[in-house]
Amino acid sequence: QVQLVQSGPEVKEPGASVKLSCKVSGYTFTELPIHWVRQAPGKGLEWMGGFDHEDGERFYAQNFQGRVTTTEDTSTETAYMHLSSLTHEDTALYYCVTGVLSIAAKPSFDYWGQGTLITVSS
Amino acid sequence: SYVLTQPPSVSVAPGKTARITCGANNIGLKSVHWYQQKPGQAPVLVVYDDSDRPSGIPERFSGSNSGNTATLTIDEVEAGDEADYFCQVWDVDTTSYVFATGTKVTVL
C-alpha cells in the first residue's frame, strides 16, 4: 500500500518561498510518478506539476512556470516542491499525489498525501 | 488551454441515480479520471481510465466517456455519497493535467 506523508503546516510572509516534503513508502520510489496538487480554501483542485521516473519527464502547470520546482531524493524516497514569490493567493492545502493503476499515458492520482496547509500572511 | 465543464451541483433522492457530466472538446479521445472529496478530507479516486474502479470503490460508481462528454454515474445513491466530484484528464497538447471545477452532489 502506497503511503505519502507530508511535512507540517507553515506560515509565510508575502514574497517568501516554501519547500514542502513528501515521504513515500510502500512502493518502489523510482517507479512512481509524483505530482503536486493544491486546493485553496473553498475552491477546486489545481495541478501544479510533477515528475515521472519511468520516462524521466518533468512537467509544470503554465500558471506556475518559473515559480515552482519539484525534486526527488531517491536515497530518502522523498519528493519536494519548492514554490517561490508567495502571495496571499497561494494560501492553500498542498497535496503530493501518485498513481499506479492507470494505463493511460499519464496516470490517475490513486494515492494522496494528507496535505500541507500553507498560509501566506503578513 | 483545455477546459473541462461540470455542472456546479446535482441533487438526487436516496436510492435514485445521479449522473455527473464532464464536457470538453473530443474528451472521448482522452482518459478521464473521477475523484470524490468529502468535507475536510483528501480526494479519493473513484473511477480511472474512463470506467475502471479502484479496489474498494462500490460497483454503484461507474463511468463512461464518448464524444464530447464523460459521465460519472452513481446508482442507488446513499447519504454517504454526498460530496464534491471532480473529473480530470491529461492534455497532451499543453502537457498538463486539467481538473474541472467540480460538482457538488446533494442527497435530498
Whether the Cβ atoms of residue B70 and residue B85 lie closer than 8 Å to each other: no
**Per-residue pLDDT tens for B68-106?**
999 999 999 999 999 999 999 999 999 999 999 999 999
Name the phi and psi angles at A86, rounded to 5.
-65, 140
- pLDDT given for residue A54 in this prediction: 77
State in Å, rounded, how far the first CA of chain B is from the last one: 36
Whole-angstrom distance, CA of residue B61 vs CA of residue B33 = 12
Q: Which of B1, B84, B96 sits opposite A47 (nearest CB)?
A: B96
Q: Which of B52, B96, B99 sits opposite A44 (nearest CB)?
A: B99
Whether the Cβ atoms of residue B89 and residue B2 lie closer than 8 Å to each other: yes
- pLDDT given for residue B16 in this prediction: 98
CB atoms A47 and B98 under 8 Å: yes
Q: Which of B31, B84, B101 sits opposite A102 (nearest CB)?
A: B31
pLDDT of A11 over the 90 cut: yes
Whole-angstrom distance, CA of residue A74 vs CA of residue A38 = 23
Residue type, B51: S
Interface of B with A in 74-93 (CB under 8 A): 84, 86, 88, 90, 92
Contact of B42 with chain A, judged by CB distance below 8 Å, is answered with yes
CB atoms A44 and B102 under 8 Å: yes
CB atoms B45 and A108 under 8 Å: yes
- pLDDT given for residue A56 in this prediction: 86
Contact of B99 with chain A, judged by CB distance below 8 Å, is answered with yes
Closest CA to B40 of A37, A117, A18: A117
**Per-residue pLDDT tens for A29-42?**
999 999 999 999 99
C-alpha to C-alpha distances, A15 to A12, A41, A87, B22, B100, nearest whole angstrom = 8, 20, 6, 37, 29
Q: Confidence class of residue A106 from pLDDT cuts 50, 70 and 90?
A: confident
The single-letter DSSP state of residue A42 is T
**Per-residue pLDDT tens for B28-63?**
999 999 999 999 999 999 999 999 999 999 999 999
**Per-residue pLDDT tens for A42-88?**
999 999 999 988 788 899 999 997 899 999 999 999 999 999 999 99
- pLDDT given for residue A103 in this prediction: 83
Whether the Cβ atoms of residue A37 and residue A97 lie closer than 8 Å to each other: yes
What is the torsion angle, in degrees rounded to the nearest 10, for the CA atoms of residue B94, residue A113, residue B27 and residue A51? 30
